[in-house]
Amino acid sequence: MLTNTPEYWISKLELIAHPEGGYYKRTYQAEEQISDQELSVQFTGQRLLYTSIYFLLQSHDVSHFHRLKSDELWYFHAGSPLTIHVIHENGSYEEVKLGLNLENGETPQYLVPKNAIFGSSVMLNNTFSLVGCMVSPGFDFQDFELLAQDDLLQQYPQHKEIIKKLAYELLPV
């Protein structure tokens, strides 16, 4: 199996489908836990101090817009560069190129701040990106909010183009 294919990485790293799109596997988690009493974020119960995953996204897929109550630090590992699309709490939009070509404006790591709305897409066609994501306080699906297109368009009409690309469209019942 060729190492430059997404199938290689998915198989060798034992990645599974992620609800936001792409594939992932938790690789590390802290033994220590923390409560929201020590932090400026509110959640129920305890959270691990940090968690880390591998995340693979193919160019025919996107990581849909979502929000976390924790900071998430992204690290580039392999494949093509990835674009992280961020709508910050103040409503401003930022596009970050995650990769190793510094001359092309790419960066090998980027911090998505807690409460930001973000998703990602692979920059080149017919390729994939393999990244690592470390979340602190640790990731818990209770703190994961997948965002719908209609809701985002009402809040941020100025970002219509990227919202249409990265947010789920709710289908009529």
Domains and CATH numbers, the chain: 47-166 (2.60.120.10)
pTM: 0.90
10-residue mean pLDDT series, the chain (173 residues)? 84 94 94 70 76 96 94 96 98 98 97 97 95 92 90 96 91 53
Tokens 């025919």 map to which residue? 60
Contact 29, 19 (CB under 8 A): no
**Separation of alpha carbons 46 and 129, rounded Å:** 32
What per-residue confidence (pLDDT) applies to 172?
53
What per-residue confidence (pLDDT) applies to 2?
65
What per-residue confidence (pLDDT) applies to 140?
86
Report strand pairing: 51-58 vs 128-136: antiparallel
What per-residue confidence (pLDDT) applies to 82?
97
> Quick one: the chain helix, strand, coil %, rounded to 5?
20, 45, 35
**Separation of alpha carbons 35 and 38, rounded Å:** 6
What per-residue confidence (pLDDT) applies to 1?
55
pLDDT in tens, 131-142: 999 998 888 888
Q: Which secondary-structure segment (H or E) carries 16?
A: strand 16-17
Contact 149, 92 (CB under 8 A): no
